[in-house]
A and B are shown apart, each in its own frame.
Chain A
Amino acid sequence: MAIHVDPEGREIRALERVAEWRRKRVLEIGCGSGRLTLRLAALGASVHALDPDPKAVRLARRNLPARYAARVRYRVGDAAQLKLPDASFDIALFSWSL
């Protein structure tokens, strides 16, 4: 099976135009299998990525390259009940999840 989302990389370019991602603490809500997470990590962000689907999170963890392991964390979680401290991120990204 071969399904490619946004092969031209237009989404990450649009995200780069609206915010600075380098050295930012990013909460990604709805990371799925980590398609966008890795692109954000490549921009220099530290990403705490959440998704309610455990299967998607398992797949994302499997596909996480070692070079991003220190800056990317995948968790199963619900956007309406974040078990995270107040004011702990610079950017919250809803990636196709609101």
Chain B
Amino acid sequence: MVHALREAHRVIAPDGVVVEARPAAIHRRVAVQSGKVRRHVGVMRENFHRERHADRAVARSVRAGWFRECAVRSFSCTRTMDTLEDYCTWLGEFYTVTDSPPHEWLVERIERALEKAPEGSRIIIAAPVTVRLLKKI
């Protein structure tokens, strides 16, 4: 990750910036939504190894004098899925990237919530995303 920041520093112009956006190290909340009604189902269990590693890489690039942190913003980012199959597909990709523990318990909870919810209800995953602006020094 530090190598990627080093390379970014090299390829941007002297007055250039790095914008770094990624989910914050806060557990994703899962809900089932029908119309405007959102029913909370559970919270995902994630280990955040990657996020902490990335935080350390950014801090190291600032300490090394490559960048100065100019702004940090956060917003809530949602992911909507039409079916439980969609959620399971996403979960498969999520495991390969994050090395997180299994979530079968959450899949069962979502299944039960969808059975009780009106037809056309969707699965919503919400997580804060942080955007950092790093100015090249």
Smallest CB separation, B59 vs chain A (Å): 12
- Tell me if A93 and B19 are in contact (CB < 8 A): yes
Cα A86 to Cα B41 in complex, Å, equals 49
Interface contact tally, CB-CB below 8 A:
130
Number of interface residues of A (CB under 8 A): 37
Interface status of B86 (Cβ within 8 A of chain A): yes
A29 touching B4 by the CB < 8 A rule? yes
Contact call B21/A94, Cβ cutoff below 8 A:
yes
Cβ of A65 within 8 Å of any chain B Cβ, yes or no, is no
B contact face: mostly helix, strand, loop, or mixed: strand
Q: Please report the C-alpha to C-alpha distance between residue A91 and residue B134 in the assembled complex, in whole angstroms.
A: 10
CB neighbors of B among A16-66 (8 A): 17-19, 27, 29
Do B133 and A19 have beta carbons less than 8 Å apart? yes
From 27 to 85 in chain B, residues with beta carbon under 8 angstroms from any chain A beta carbon are 54, 57-58, 71, 73, 75-83, 85
> A14 with B75: in contact, given A3-B89, A87-B14, A94-B22 (CB under 8 Å)?
yes
Q: Which residues on the A side are within 8 Å of B17 (C-beta)? A: 19, 90-92
| Residue contact A18 to B131, C-beta cutoff 8 Å | yes
Nearest chain B residue, comparing its CB with the CB of A88: B11
Name 16 interchain pairs, CB-CB below 8 A, sorted by A.
A3-B82, A6-B79, A10-B75, A10-B77, A11-B75, A15-B21, A18-B73, A79-B3, A82-B11, A87-B10, A87-B11, A87-B16, A89-B12, A91-B18, A97-B22, A98-B57
Chain A positions near chain B (C-beta within 8 angstroms): 1-8, 10-11, 13-15, 17-19, 27, 29, 79-82, 84-98
